[in-house]
Structure 1
Amino acid sequence: MLSGTPPFPRLLLLTALLGGPAVADDLFIDNQDLPQVLTATRLKQSAAGVPGSMTVLDSQLIRASGARDIPELLRLVPGMMIGYGASNQPTVNYHGSNVSEARRMQVLIDGRSVYRAGLATVDWSDIPVALEDIERIEVFRGPNTVSYGANALMAVVNILTRSPADSQGTRLKLSRGADGVNDFYASQGLGWEGGDLRLSMSGQEDDGFDHDQSGADYRDSRRLNRINLSVLQQLASNQTLEWQLAAKEGSNQRPYTYQPVFPYVTARGNNADVKAKDYAGSLRWNIDFNDQHSLYVQGSAQHFDRQQVWRACDAALSFSPALTRLWQLDSNYAEQVARNIVNPPANSNPALQALRDQVKTQWDSQGGSQVVCGDVDQSTRETRYDLEIQDTLSLTDNLRLLSGANFRYDQADSQTYFNGTLSDQTWRLFGQLEWRADEHWIIQGGTMFEDSRLSGSSLTPRLAVNYLITPRHGLRAVYSEAVRSPDMFENNVNWSYTVNNLSPYQPGLGRGEYFVKTRGPGDLDQERMRSRELGYNGSFSEIGLNLDLKVFYDEISGMISEPLRNNQYIASNSNKARFSGSEPQLDWRLGQRDRLRLTYAYVDAWASNRNDSEASARNSGSAGWLRDWGDGWSSALFYYGDDALNQYRYERVDLRLAKRLRIRRSNLELAALWQQRLDDEPITLAQNRYDSRQRLSVSAELEF
């Protein structure tokens, strides 16, 4: 019907048709409070005035989804690619890039980053916060280095927990289900004059995937326990103090995956399980000088500890100094010699040929039968200290300025990856300016200057123009630049294995240095992104409909796409990628009982590196229907799907039924969640498989 109408006039016509009575009113007199979001610019803004695309997962959605972890929740965000690496470890990417290494998103818990700078990753299964403690998750879908620094290259996930003032009383929850699901949650909230506190404890267990592509049992279960303390203290009428403590411990099973380099050596050894311990604390002082001026100072500290010691076997020749020297001179040739040791290829270089002959002689003298086993230690420890100050000032009724500074110290400690300890210091200065030129036009600009001792400095800008048709309906045009700094591992890795407790023992071989040694280039540049976006956000208050539409074109240059492995790892800035497409998002509250939610993403992705190009689904999305049936009954029906993530289709339907009972002064909710896969594909990787396409779990939650 409107095939000849350009896109934005269509939106204006749609606004006029659906907005009817609201549009007829004074454009900028609105009696209803507009919902506010914070993550886009650090300023509180209405969705129609944000310089980018936002998705908010509120507490109702979080509960109704029945999700056990944050990656499952993020399936409700258009453009999010949710997969699994080996051993049941979730990976989350926005639009795409390497499926097994999610390096390009910033993840925050109440302003504290949980991105691990040492090994360039987010441990999604180990994030030390329970879903029951989360008030909402705000996702900024697009580059936001301007607000949050390097690593906010493609998106920002901001996890906002419930205020202790909203957590009074006792809350207990138990969940049981297929695949060994065994979860619990317990919290106690209390208040006093001028203060509130919440203490929560939670735990999760599951058995992971059932079998691999060959039908063998898959060793990848997870177990974790968490404790969280959150306190809010009113210091004065205009000052508050917030502090949080979090601790988590757990274990993640890992199968034995080492493959001997030398022929005739049988793969045997112990599984490489990981024991994880995380600790975090933060303190934030908020001051409201007046309605136009506020300031906060926040400090945080956190520690990541991953203990991984396992036993592996290979030929004793793996510890040969001659082979080590050959690897240092020419790693490709050294591997050819090792893998073809019975008849290693010759080399025209005299030095390489001489080392090749030494290695061959050593192999022959051992008869090719000497195998040794030893303990491999891949443990890592990472520590971060962060201090930030932010000032928000309304210069006039139409002009707001946000400015701030940040200092962060990161340290990574690993004998295997860094041959000891490596540290980095980062300084940031950032600013945002919002100018309401008149009642229709908003012009916003921001910039971030960042200087890292290991990665150098960068300056990233963003410029956005929003046109408000009414306060609830806005068009936007955004141009932004962003960077991602190479992390310690990528740029400065000093990877080598000292293998202990070698057996059978030989003189001089109680411990040994494995011949493969990898060094980072040390001079990697930052990845750089340029993003263009056109969009519309509208709230049709008369019918309870919220709509967001986005079209985008993003380019990333200087990408570091090589997988993080100690074998032919050659990091470079030689890769690039391009993403274009569209994302509609609809949230419709159909009266008091029903809520309909739809998301879709069309992503046309191209990447010079195959690992990046295979991690984008061209079509993906979700659909949800939440229904309150009355008399304490409620239901939620969700569909999740993508056409090809890493070449595998994924489609699933979830149905959650819940009954809420009032028992004296307590509330009891009983719920059941049924998950049904609509396809028979593995999840992301060929070895990630379940025995059944159906999964059932039940939960009971008591509040008093």
Structure 2
Amino acid sequence: MSFGSPSPSSPLVLALLFSSPLLADDLFLDNESLPQVLTATRLKQSPAAVPGSMTVIDSELINASGARDISELLRLVPGMMVGNISGNQAAVNYHGTNATEARRMQVLIDGRSVYRAGLATVDWSDIPVAMEDIERIEVFRGPNTVSYGANALMAVVNIITRNPADSHGTRMKVTRGQRGIDDFYASQGVGWDGGDLRLSLSGQQDDGFDTDSSGADYRDSRRLNRFNLAVSQTLSENQSIDWQLNAKDGTNQRPYTYRPVFSGITAAGNNSDVVAKDYAGSLRWNLDINPDHSLYIQGSAQHWDRQQTWRACDAEVSFSPQLTELWQLNPNYTERLARNIERFTGPGAPAGTAAEQALGNQVLAQWRNGARQTLCGDIDQSARETRYDLELQDTLSLSDSLRLVSGMNYRYDRANSETYFNGTLDDTTWRAFGQLEWRATEHWLLQGGAMFEDTQLTGSSLTPRVAVNYLINPRHGLRAVYSEAIRSPDMFENNVNWSYQVTNLRPSAYGQTSARYFVKTRGPGDLEQERMRSRELGYNGYFAELGLTVDVKLFYDEISGMISEPLRNNQYIASNSNSSRFKGTETQLDWRLSSADRLRLTYAYVDAEASNPQDERLTARNSGSAGWLRNWGHGWNSALFYYGDDALNGYRFERVDTRIAKRIGLGKANLELAGVLQQRLDHQPTTFVDNNYDERRVLYFSAELTF
């Protein structure tokens, strides 16, 4: 399977070829229950009734894939662009936009957001949940601000963990392999009268990529350990509570990228690794008032701690008060002077305003009088973020044909960093949401919803969604959806106060052992929300006799007011002046050919146009996956997966993963031995030029014991 340039309509034609001859025979259904999803509207719905496109990665797929990371599983989602910033930093975007930052997708664990509002990112490898604890991943492919608020601009990924009641017993697993792969997992599940508990401990480590573009060793390994405790307790016939505690601790290596500004200075070369610590806790009270009316109240607290320090060297003049003043006056002028200072020591400061030249000449005098000596000091780029979240949701069946979900949410975010915010910055968000589902007739389903959101830093917004589903029968549905969505600029984009306090200076700078570096950046403070308008036509069908599920989507999305410019300390020009347009088609096919075989195919054609070229870089025009799962009997099973895209940030990606496993009964226990081989079919870097492996294949093995 290799990607060329097929017609955008080819997946739709493929689905119709499958569906047309079978539709007439499938109009009358038996009483077989239909699968249901929750993420789309917060209401339990069959896939044919959802007002949008859904992908569900179930536990069978998760296990068969052999994936060690959640980001790798998302390669199974059509239209999802999965790359790497470095070995321990995944870049995941739906349909695209900037390659280095994933700012436009909401990521949840059991409904709790893990999107960091302070620095606008999702730390995929640091999410404090083990792969073995995941029951399924529901992905809503499209804007869903209506249900989940700002940042659900392009997609929602909801990671749903296993119920403690389904986790009784002991489970232990170890994984070893090439590239320094060394993982472990252990869990214990117990139950009592009215309650269940699962405690799990897990760890991961690997060496990341081997070499950068120059052939030098690439410093991007990771080491992490996780703790998870999940408890469900029944209080009465109609009440229960669920609570979780999660923690993660580890180290992510970072390449040393600092380069001195002034000529003749040698970089210190120390590491700039990140010590990452995450803590989270949540408590949810569920109340079933009657069979048609239920509500829950959920509270959660999260803390992200990223400790990053390193030692850097530059010229003493870097801490000159006059150079700092000049930077505040004109960064571009200052950059030109600093990087070419030797050229101006004779003729004087470059041409500019009178104030610029006066300050420039003072800096040149300092340079000539000895301020060119090398100083080295410690830089602390640590950041800490905290979130408190409280949500009330009410679900009500008003009649057999009318359902309503509504609720309110309060969230408090605080970010603390001496480097990024010169202290502490906080934000509060209030939300009110509602979604109405009306079965107008046996075949017509009308849905509408809206989210009102007000944030302290960016103001208020109202985002709607309307959808019409025509249900040929409960298993087959056509849909037409229009929705609007927003993304609020995060604290870093809008309110950054970026400067470096360098400590332990040796020798001292202007008589001080601690001083501010001359580069200082302030965010604009007046950025507006990004806005998206989305139109979608689609079909979802389940052919029970064949075990075949098909979903097809045609889409046209427009984003305006995009914040796309580089957010670097020496080049920070954030604005709402950019826009993007995405159109194309997606399809996914899941076919249980027999009790032993399962076939799964996905494909996406995405045509992207953007005012900023960087927003097109992480959009592959053609991408997809193919998977074949086989149960051979006698405890043997295998899986074969293909993943590919024609150009992600300019680089082709094609890989084949093979997993073979054998399950052995040991009395009341079971032992599963498995091996995974990943083979790259291309010979290009992964997403960025510095991401290179010495070998195009990697092999790792696992042993899992359950009893």
Q: TM-score range by the shorter chain?
A: over 0.9
Give the corresponding residue for 2:327: 327
In 1, the alpha carbon distance for the partners of 2:459 and 2:321 equals 36
Give the corresponding residue for 1:566: 569
Q: Counterpart of 2:357 in structure 1: which amino acid?
A: Q
Question: What are the within-5 Å matches in structure 2 for residues 15-164 of structure 1?
Answer: 15-23=19-27, 25=28, 30-86=30-86, 88-164=88-164
Q: Counterpart of 2:33 in structure 1: which amino acid?
A: D
In 2, the alpha carbon distance for the partners of 1:457 and 1:16 equals 46
Give the corresponding residue for 2:244: 244
Tell me how large the CA RMSD over aligned residues is.
Answer: 1.5
Question: What are the within-5 Å matches in structure 2 for residues 619-630 of structure 1?
Answer: 619-630=622-633
What is the aligned counterpart of 1:578 among 565, 578, 581? 581
Conservation of the 8 A alpha-carbon contact between 2:15 and 2:552 = no
Do structure 1's residue 186 and structure 2's residue 186 form an aligned pair? yes
What is the aligned counterpart of 1:553 among 553, 556, 560? 556
Conservation of the 8 A alpha-carbon contact between 1:30 and 1:471 = no
Give the corresponding residue for 2:376: 373
In 1, the alpha carbon distance for the partners of 2:629 and 2:18 equals 25
Q: Which secondary structure does the structure 2 equivalent of 1:308 belong to?
A: strand
Deviation at 1:14, TM superposition (A): 5.1
Deviation at 1:12, TM superposition (A): 7.0
Conservation of the 8 A alpha-carbon contact between 1:443 and 1:464 = yes
Deviation at 1:321, TM superposition (A): 0.4
What is the aligned counterpart of 2:474 among 455, 471, 475? 471
Give the corresponding residue for 2:516: 513
What is the aligned counterpart of 2:356 among 342, 352, 355? 352
In 1, the alpha carbon distance for the partners of 2:400 and 2:13 equals 31
Q: Deviations over 1:91-145 (max 9, x none)?
A: 1000000110000000000010000000000001100000100000000000000
Is the alpha carbon distance of 1:371 and 1:667 closer, same or farther for their aligned partners in structure 2, counting shifts above 3 Å? Answer: same
Conservation of the 8 A alpha-carbon contact between 2:11 and 2:585 = no
Q: Counterpart of 2:488 in structure 1: which amino acid?
A: S
Is the alpha carbon distance of 1:476 and 1:249 closer, same or farther for their aligned partners in structure 2, counting shifts above 3 Å? Answer: same
In 1, the alpha carbon distance for the partners of 2:515 and 2:352 equals 30
Deviation at 1:17, TM superposition (A): 1.2
Length-normalised TM-score, structure 1: 0.97
Structure 1 residues without counterparts, runs of 5 or longer: none
Deviation at 1:291, TM superposition (A): 1.4
Give the corresponding residue for 1:297: 297
Deviation at 1:367, TM superposition (A): 7.0
Aligned length, in residue pairs: 696
Is the alpha carbon distance of 1:16 and 1:678 closer, same or farther for their aligned partners in structure 2, counting shifts above 3 Å? Answer: closer
In 1, the alpha carbon distance for the partners of 2:15 and 2:692 equals 44
Deviation at 1:506, TM superposition (A): 5.1
Give the corresponding residue for 1:318: 318
Q: Counterpart of 2:316 in structure 1: which amino acid?
A: A
Do structure 1's residue 682 and structure 2's residue 702 form an aligned pair? no
Is the deviation greater in 637-646 or in 265-274? Answer: 265-274
Conservation of the 8 A alpha-carbon contact between 2:11 and 2:603 = no
In 1, the alpha carbon distance for the partners of 2:50 and 2:77 equals 17
Percent sequence identity over matched residues? 72
In 2, the alpha carbon distance for the partners of 1:184 and 1:88 equals 18
Question: What are the within-5 Å matches in structure 2 for residues 165-244 of structure 1?
Answer: 165-244=165-244
Do structure 1's residue 443 and structure 2's residue 446 form an aligned pair? yes
Length-normalised TM-score, structure 2: 0.97
Q: Deviations over 1:416-463 (max 9, x none)?
A: 000000000000000000000001000000000000000110000000
Conservation of the 8 A alpha-carbon contact between 1:87 and 1:255 = no
Deviation at 1:538, TM superposition (A): 0.1
Deviation at 1:30, TM superposition (A): 3.6
Question: What are the within-5 Å matches in structure 2 for residues 617-656 of structure 1?
Answer: 617-656=620-659
Q: Which secondary structure does the structure 2 equivalent of 1:417 belong to?
A: coil
Q: Counterpart of 1:575 in structure 2: which amino acid?
A: N
**Structure 1 residue runs of 4+, over 4 Å off?**
5-14
Conservation of the 8 A alpha-carbon contact between 2:81 and 2:92 = yes
In 1, the alpha carbon distance for the partners of 2:78 and 2:585 equals 10
Conservation of the 8 A alpha-carbon contact between 2:11 and 2:586 = no
Structure 2 residues without counterparts, runs of 5 or longer: 1-6
Is the deviation greater in 560-569 or in 172-181? Answer: 560-569
Is the alpha carbon distance of 1:508 and 1:30 closer, same or farther for their aligned partners in structure 2, counting shifts above 3 Å? Answer: farther
Q: Counterpart of 1:661 in structure 2: which amino acid?
A: I
Do structure 1's residue 597 and structure 2's residue 605 form an aligned pair? no
In 1, the alpha carbon distance for the partners of 2:286 and 2:371 equals 72
Q: Which secondary structure does the structure 2 equivalent of 1:483 belong to?
A: strand
Q: Deviations over 1:632-654 (max 9, x none)?
A: 00000000000000000000000
In 2, the alpha carbon distance for the partners of 1:134 and 1:559 equals 34
Conservation of the 8 A alpha-carbon contact between 1:87 and 1:254 = no
Conservation of the 8 A alpha-carbon contact between 2:15 and 2:550 = no
Q: Counterpart of 2:351 in structure 1: which amino acid?
A: N
Question: What are the within-5 Å matches in structure 2 for residues 661-680 of structure 1?
Answer: 661-680=664-683
Conservation of the 8 A alpha-carbon contact between 2:566 and 2:573 = no
Q: Deviations over 1:622-668 (max 9, x none)?
A: 00000000000000000000000000000000000000000010010
In 1, the alpha carbon distance for the partners of 2:295 and 2:319 equals 58
